[in-house]
Structure 1
Amino acid sequence: MSGPQVKICGVKDIETALAAARAGADFLGFVFFRKSPRFIQPEKAEEIILDLKEASFEEGFALPKLVGLFVDAGEKELSEAPTLLTHFQFHGHESAERCRELGEEFAVEIIKALPVSEPDDVLKASEFEGAADIILFDAKPPPGAGRPGGHGVSFDWSAVSSYEGETPFILAGGLTPDNVADAVASQKDHSGFVGVDVSSGVEDAPGKKSPALISAFISSAKGA
Structure 2
Amino acid sequence: MTLDIKICGLSTPETVETAIARGATHIGFVHFAKSPRHLSVERIAELVRLVDGRAETVIVTVNPDDALVARFAEEARPDWLQLHGRETPERVAEIRANTGLKVMKALPVAEAADLEAIEPYRPVADRILLDSKRPKGSVLPGGNGVSFDWTLLDSLDPELAYMLSGGIDATNVAEAVRIARPSGIDISSGVESAPGVKDVGRLNLFFDALDRLKATA
1:143 to 2:136 alignment: yes
Return the alpha-carbon distance in structure 2 between the equivalents of residues 76 and 220 of structure 1: 41
TM-fit CA distance, 1:165: 7.3
Cα deviations across residues 12-69 of structure 1 (Å, max 9, x unaligned)?
A: 111111110011001011101110000001111111222232xxxxxxxx71110011
Compute the displacement of 1:160 (Å).
1.3
2:20 and 2:55 in contact (8 A); partners too: yes
> Counterpart of 2:187?
198
1:98 is aligned, of 91, 96, 119, to: 91
In the TM superposition, what is the alpha-carbon distance from 1:149 to its structure 2 partner?
1.0
Alignment gaps of 5+ in structure 1: 54-61
Question: Identity across aligned pairs (percent)?
Answer: 35
Deviations 1:104-156 (A, max 9, x none): 21111111111101111112100102111111110010012112111101101
1:117-132 mapped onto 2 (5 Å cutoff) = 117-132=110-125
Give the root-mean-square deviation of aligned CA atoms: 1.5
2:57 aligns with 66
2-structure distance, mates of 1:144, 1:165: 34
Partner of 1:161: 154
Determine the structure 2 residue equivalent to 1:45: 44
Consecutive unaligned residues in structure 2, runs of 5 or more: none
Aligned to 2:199: 210
How far has the Cα of 1:182 moved from its partner? 0.6
- 2: distance between equivalents of 1:209 and 1:44? 16
Partner of 1:69: helix, strand, or coil? strand
Matched-pair contact (CA < 8 Å) for 1:111–1:133? yes
| Distance of aligned partners of 1:93 and 1:152 in 2 relative to their CA distance in 1, 3 Å threshold | same
What is the rounded CA distance, in whole Å, between the counterparts of 2:48 and 2:142 in structure 1?
23
Quickly say closer, same or farther: Cα 1:153–1:210, change in 2 above 3 A: same
Q: How many residues align?
A: 211
Matched AA of 1:80: R
Deviation sequence 1:75-102 (CA, Å, 0-9, x none): 1222222443011101111011111111
Partner SS for 2:106 = strand
Partner Cα distance (2:113, 2:14) in 1: 40
Letter in 2 for 1:50: R
Q: Which moved more, 1:140-149 or 1:158-167?
A: 158-167
- 8 A contact 1:4–1:222 mirrored in 2: no
Q: Which residue of 2 aligns with 1:23?
A: 22
The runs of at least 4 aligned residues of structure 1 exceeding 4 Å deviation read: none
TM-score by length of 1: 0.89
- Contact in 2 for aligned 1:173/1:198 (Cα 8 Å): yes
